[in-house]
Amino acid sequence: MKMHLSITVAWFVSALLSLSKVTQQFSEGSTSSVEPTSIYSQFEQGGYEVLQYGNFKEFLDHKLNISQVLASFLVKDYTDCAFKCLDNIGCLSFNFATKPAIGTDQHSCHLLASDRFNHSTHLSLCENSPCQNGGSCRPLYQNKSFVCNCLGNYFGPLCKKVWHKINTDPVCFGTRDEDFGSFEADKTGNIHKIKLVHISGSVNCISDQVTSTKWSCDLHLNELNIHITDQNNIPLFPGRSAINLNPHSFFYQLSGFDANSPEIVFDSIPTPLAVTAGQKFRIWYGEDLRNVTEQDNIGKSCADVYVVYQIE
């Protein structure tokens, strides 16, 4: 993968760029061992300041013989050659002559469009495909790390963890008269996270179907009113995830989610919830759970329930 930040991106944000490459020498002349070194350049482009940063390590006494030479230069040292590669969007590696060209104190520098083994190439933590279950790896060269973009229900630093759907039929809940939805744990273990994914329907805390929401009320679009309890109606979620919980109506805020989010996630669980297979739970509309101001509530909303288990 080309480790170069294009000018287009630099126009949008003052950028940090880190390149990790392995420089390789022409076979002519003697060479000496050079420790990995870091270089950087700083300049203005389009009114924005751009910082380019590179980590370079040398493989001595090797040359990649390919026809895809993008450009050739005479340079003062291999650092200059590295910056030439950095500035060429097609450059994936380079060859650098250890001895100056005849009759000059300049060295040959060839920019290459290949990055295979045994020549100058990028050093990337993504090279060994650390992301699992089909996840893609995005290197972060500035801090020598990476981020996994996970597929489907997988998540976590390496896409190892998976959201597990535990309901068979949609779990539907109303807004008044103890109209909760029921589901149960299908395994014994510890629940670390729980997620509700909206399937159909809508709810409201006023008698207006047009302005109904997935999880709340037209009067509280930045808040939620969904609660998960045990079968004795003891609240379990949102728990510590809730922000500004109203003790009367049970409306609350949840970071990153609102009344019409396609899904909501409760993940601020200080101690994982120990459950047994078959243990029952309920999804409530908050005003219905509290038996307050529910007389004008309308609607019914249906969801799928996903959890992250640590199986015992």
Residue range 280-311, pLDDT digits in tens = 999 999 999 999 999 999 999 999 999 998 75
Higher pLDDT pick, 3 / 211 = 211
The per-residue pLDDT for 94 is: 82
Can you give the pTM of this predicted structure? 0.57
Mean residue pLDDT of the chain comes to: 80
* Whether pLDDT at 98 is above 50: yes
Higher pLDDT pick, 44 / 271 = 271
Beta strands in the chain (DSSP E): 16-25, 37-45, 48-59, 69-75, 93-96, 107-112, 136-140, 145-149, 154-155, 161-162, 164-165, 171-174, 181-184, 189-204, 226-230, 235-237, 263-266, 273-275, 280-285, 298-311
Higher pLDDT pick, 117 / 153 = 153
- The stretches of 116-244 forming alpha helices (DSSP H) are none
Cα distances (angstroms) measured from residue 149 to each of 121, 261, 262, 266: 24, 21, 20, 21
- State how far the Cα of 235 lies from the Cα of 289, in Å rounded to an integer: 9
What's 289's DSSP letter? H
Dihedral of the alpha carbons of 13, 130, 266, 235, in degrees to the nearest 10? -160
CB count within 10 Å of CB 38 equals 11
For the stretch 150-181, pLDDT in tens is: 988 888 889 988 899 999 999 999 999 999 99
Higher pLDDT pick, 257 / 49 = 257
* Residue 139 pLDDT grade (very low, low, confident, very high; cuts 50, 70, 90): confident
Tell me which residue of 254, 25, 52, 60 sits closest to 141, measured CA to CA: 52
Cα Rg, the chain, nearest whole Å: 29
The per-residue pLDDT for 284 is: 98
Contacts of 35 (CB under 8 A, 6+ apart): none
CB count within 10 Å of CB 234 equals 8
- State how far the Cα of 21 lies from the Cα of 240, in Å rounded to an integer: 45
CB 20 within 8 A of CB 39: no
∠ CA 23-28-33, nearest 5°, is 45
- State how far the Cα of 15 lies from the Cα of 38, in Å rounded to an integer: 17
What's 178's DSSP letter? S
Distance of CA 140 to the CA centre of its chain: 12
Distance of CA 149 to the CA centre of its chain: 5
